[in-house]
């Protein structure tokens, strides 16, 4: 940078290097505002993007750095509604914007260093920023279904690998709140790495409670978009409530009456607590969480707002206290032992018992390792499905590590704590139709049909006597202190 603070500029004539690049008529924009103001836009107006603007976005794209400056990228800007509709059949994500920019790069170019992916990504980011500066919106699509089909639809030759698609259009709706960022000091280091990395492993043994806390805090920063309830899980929860908790369905008419108290343990994204508190308004809810931030996220989803308490006891502070002993009529831990490191599970169970009033009810829900869950996971991996912590096929895919639990291990833990099991309930021994629909949403038509037929055949199994109870994925236990 010259000493007067202006950026260094080459004095070459730009139109010689990139004929047609707009030299004037571009909106004046502050770089930092563009950088920090860009957001992924997922809802667009129907208005087409004028060709001139698409052109400007593409010009910005080719000024990205590329490995050896080989620029082996090829972009197809799809503006034809019919072609876009065909793309949308491959993945609904490509059905949102009037323009889809299909970005490809030399398939085998420098695969070892992923230089093709890196160069194309630099181009995509350049285009996203330029689009934002021009008043347009974009979102980066990797979930495009079968990328070879995308390539064929837009007529790219085999030796081009489709890296991603950038949806482009006029924003219809801007998210009021930007998804937050992990704190800089957690992510960046000077000279040598001095942190504790979040594992990509889904095995709870590879995680410490502290890492789980950091990861979950980062997940909730993304807001509700990544934390949606699924119909089949909600149904299981409602069935559990109908069978285990008959009281407290509505608020007592006498408002001065003190409500029985319910503590929900490690609710993380709050989907379950949200539902519990709606279905059982006759209880006063508290939650216990690993960090006040995640606690606040959950509490916002409950009406009235649940009280926020601390786990583990060492995390407690003056404003983030541990739950008091012998306080709760109900303590629930629903699909949270699966992500808890095994050593912590016993400690948690013992604490849950201590938080209950004498005679209080403990409710545990978990995904059983003796169910179809395990084989569907194996199938997904074989199919080359996404791996890593965010993609575990679980009742709640965004909580980090996950392992389905053996019913015998849960029973042994309860016995060791002297907790009396009163009722057991097993639900969904085969995948439900809505779940099959959801999990296969990006499959090709043929694979989708195949899985649906398999699902129908499997559903006959559920009718066999005792099968659902024994082989159910969702297992619930009600016990007393």
Ligand X SMILES: Cc1cc2nc3c(=O)[nH]c(=O)nc-3n(C[C@H](O)[C@H](O)[C@H](O)COP(=O)(O)O)c2cc1C
- Scanning the structure block, which residue is given the tokens 């965010």? 390
- Between CA 468 and CA 357, with CA 336 as vertex, the angle to 5 degrees is 95
Question: How far apart are CB 137 and ligand X at their closest, in Å?
Answer: 10
Beta-carbon contacts of 381 under 8 Å, excluding residues fewer than 6 positions away, are 387
Instruction: Give the residues across from 74 on adjacent strands.
Output: 104
Q: Which is nearer to ligand X, 97 or 306 (CB)?
A: 97
Q: Are 396 and 365 in contact (CB under 8 A)?
A: no
- Our CB check for ligand X shows the closer of 279 and 390 to be 390
Q: Which is nearer to ligand X, 104 or 273 (CB)?
A: 104
CB of 143 to ligand X, least distance (A): 4
Indicate the residue among 327 and 442 with the shorter CB distance to ligand X: 442
Q: How far is the CB of 104 from ligand X (least distance, A)?
A: 15
Query: Could you report how far apart the first and last alpha carbons of the chain are, in Å?
Result: 70
For tokens 């910005």, name the residue: 60
Q: Are 84 and 94 in contact (CB under 8 A)?
A: yes
| C-beta of 93 vs 100, nearer to ligand X | 93
In this structure, the chain runs to a length of 481
What does the alpha-carbon distance between residue 304 and residue 460 come to, in Å, rounded to a whole number? 42
Which tokens belong to 76?
Answer: 């197809």
Residues engaged in binding ligand X (CB under 6 A) = 39-40, 42, 93, 139-143, 178-179, 222
**Total Cβ atoms within 10 A of residue 333:** 23
* Min CB(217)–ligand X separation in Å: 16
Instruction: Specify the DSSP element, H or E, that contains 103.
Output: strand 99-106
Residue where the block lists tokens 């709640």: 396
Q: How far is the CB of 225 from ligand X (least distance, A)?
A: 8
CB 289 within 8 A of CB 267: yes
Q: Which residue is nearest to ligand X (CB)?
A: 40
Strands of the 99-106 sheet, one edge to the other: 73-78, 99-106, 160-169, 137-141
Sign of the torsion angle spanned by Cα atoms 398, 404, 410, 413: negative
Dihedral (Cα; 22, 27, 28, 33), 10-degree rounding: -110
Q: Residue 367 has which token pair?
A: 């995904």
Give me the least distance between CB of 167 and ligand X, in Å please. Answer: 9
Q: Which is nearer to ligand X, 141 or 477 (CB)?
A: 141
The strand pair at 420-427 and 474-480 is best described as antiparallel
The 3-state secondary structure of 276-299, one letter per residue: HHHHCCCCEEEEEECCHHHHHHHH
Q: Which is nearer to ligand X, 124 or 212 (CB)?
A: 124
Task: Kindly state the smallest distance separating residue 380's Cβ from ligand X, in Å.
Answer: 17
Residue 175 or 409 having the CB closest to ligand X: 175
Nearer to ligand X, 222 or 257 (CB): 222
Give least dist CB 310 to ligand X, A.
29
Q: CB of residue 438 vs ligand X: minimum separation in angstroms?
A: 15
Nearer to ligand X, 143 or 249 (CB): 143
CB 165 → ligand X: shortest distance, Å? Answer: 9
Given the complex with ligand X, which of 175 and 423 has the nearer CB atom? 175
Shortest CA distance to 236 belongs to which of 448, 451, 396, 453?
A: 396
Rounded Cα distance between 421 and 364, Å, is 10
Quote the least distance from Cβ 395 to ligand X, whole Å: 22
Q: Is 472 helix (H, G, I), strand (E, B) or coil?
A: coil
């Amino acid at each position: 940078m010259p000493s007067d603070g202006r950026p260094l500029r080459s004095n070459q004539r730009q139109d010689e290097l990139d004929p047609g690049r707009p030299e004037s008529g571009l909106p004046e924009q502050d770089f930092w505002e563009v950088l920090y103001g860009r957001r992924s836009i997922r809802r667009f107006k129907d208005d087409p993007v004028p060709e001139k603007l698409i052109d400007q976005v593409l010009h910005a794209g080719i000024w990205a750095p590329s490995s050896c400056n080989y620029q082996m990228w090829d972009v197809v800007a799809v503006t034809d509604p019919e072609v876009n509709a065909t793309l949308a059949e491959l993945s609904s994500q490509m059905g949102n914007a009037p323009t889809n920019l299909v970005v490809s790069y030399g398939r085998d170019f420098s695969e070892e260093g992923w230089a093709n992916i890196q160069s194309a990504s630099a181009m995509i980011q350049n285009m996203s920023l330029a689009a934002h500066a021009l008043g347009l919106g974009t979102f980066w699509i990797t979930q495009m279904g079968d990328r070879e089909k995308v390539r064929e639809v837009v007529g790219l030759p085999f030796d081009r690998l489709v890296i991603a698609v950038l949806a482009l259009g006029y924003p219809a709706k801007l998210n009021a709140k930007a998804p937050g960022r992990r704190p800089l000091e957690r992510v960046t280091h000077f000279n040598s790495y001095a942190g504790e990395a979040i594992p990509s492993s889904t095995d709870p043994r590879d995680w410490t409670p502290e890492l789980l806390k950091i990861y979950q805090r980062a997940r909730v920063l993304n807001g509700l978009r990544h934390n949606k309830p699924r119909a089949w899980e909600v149904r299981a929860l409602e069935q559990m409530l109908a069978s285990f908790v008959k009281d407290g369905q509505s608020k007592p008419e006498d408002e001065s009456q003190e409500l029985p108290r319910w503590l929900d343990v490690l609710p993380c994204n709050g989907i379950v607590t949200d539902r519990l508190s709606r279905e059982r308004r006759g209880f006063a809810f508290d939650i216990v969480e690993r960090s006040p931030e995640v606690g606040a996220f959950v509490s916002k989803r409950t009406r009235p707002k649940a009280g926020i308490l601390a786990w583990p006891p060492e995390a407690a502070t003056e404003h983030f206290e541990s739950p008091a002993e012998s306080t709760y009529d109900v303590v629930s831990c629903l699909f949270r032992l699966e992500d808890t490191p095994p050593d912590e599970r016993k400690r948690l169970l013992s604490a849950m018992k201590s938080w209950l009033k004498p005679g209080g009810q403990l409710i545990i829900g978990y995904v059983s390792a003796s169910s179809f869950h395990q084989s569907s996971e194996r199938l997904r991996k074989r199919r080359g499905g996404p791996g890593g912590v965010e993609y575990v096929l679980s009742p709640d895919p965004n909580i980090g590590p996950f392992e389905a639990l053996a019913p015998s291990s849960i029973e042994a833990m309860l016995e060791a704590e002297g907790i009396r099991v009163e009722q057991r309930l097993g639900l969904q021994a085969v995948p439900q139709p809505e779940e099959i629909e959801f999990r296969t949403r990006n499959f090709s038509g043929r694979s989708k049909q195949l899985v649906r037929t398999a699902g129908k055949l499997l559903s006959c199994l559920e009718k066999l006597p005792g099968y659902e109870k024994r082989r159910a994925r969702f297992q619930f236990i009600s016990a007393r202190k």
